[in-house]
């Protein structure tokens, strides 16, 4: 579990301390939309605030938790359920779990929403033409040409959230701005509470 490290400098201005209730920040979106980048920025900010968090990256989890699963709908749903289960366990113990997965199917995400403690859905959106432009490996072009099967958003469906807590468009918004909006939402919803009492006697 990750947390912040205080620098111990004397005379430094006190920073607001964050009180955390635990929850799951679930980032869904197409490959290359910016889920991992935003989740890393968000994690760094939570660490600075002293919030206990764990960053669950989809690629690493597929290798370690879901090795052997393919990319059929059933296997994708199984992968999402496994990650959701781990994230839910962390949330119940006061950790803010950040999960960054394509998780293309709405029904299984809604299933997690119904079963996971403090589930916050973030739609990391980006127009297809921008994803194609960013894609240095050319995977989108190959998928569009029919050379890659089961490619989410091209030859496999992606079902965007209908009512996410936050929607970010990474074609118009920086990762820092996206993370700031997510943090503001977490505070508004009561998952983190910035304790500004340290300023009361300044």
**Would you name the residues annotated as active-site residues?**
103
In Å, what is the CA distance from 53 to each residue of 10, 46, 90? 27, 7, 9
For residues 72, 78, 81, 83, the Cα torsion angle rounded to the nearest 10 degrees is: -90
The candidate with the shortest Cα–Cα distance to 153, out of 134, 175, 132, 174, is 132
* First-to-final CA distance of the chain: 33
């Amino acid at each position: 579990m990750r947390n912040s490290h205080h620098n111990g400098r004397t005379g430094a201005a006190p920073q607001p301390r964050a009180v955390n209730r635990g929850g799951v920040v679930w980032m869904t979106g197409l490959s290359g939309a910016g889920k991992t980048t935003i989740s890393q920025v968000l994690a760094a900010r939570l660490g600075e605030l002293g919030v206990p968090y764990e960053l669950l990256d989809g690629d690493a989890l597929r290798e370690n938790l879901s090795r052997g699963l393919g990319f059929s709908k059933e296997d994708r749903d199984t992968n999402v359920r496994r990650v959701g289960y781990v994230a839910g366990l962390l949330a119940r113990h006061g950790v803010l779990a950040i999960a960054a997965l394509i998780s293309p199917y709405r029904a299984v995400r809604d299933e997690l929403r119904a079963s996971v403690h403090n589930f916050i859905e973030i739609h990391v959106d980006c127009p297809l033409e921008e994803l194609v432009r960013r894609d240095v490996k050319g995977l989108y072009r190959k998928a569009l040409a029919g050379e890659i099967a089961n490619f989410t958003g091209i030859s496999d469906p992606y079902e965007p959230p209908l009512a996410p807590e936050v929607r970010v468009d990474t074609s118009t918004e920086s990762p820092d701005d996206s993370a700031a909006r997510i943090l503001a939402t977490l505070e508004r919803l009561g998952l983190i509470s910035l304790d500004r009492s340290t300023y009361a006697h300044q």
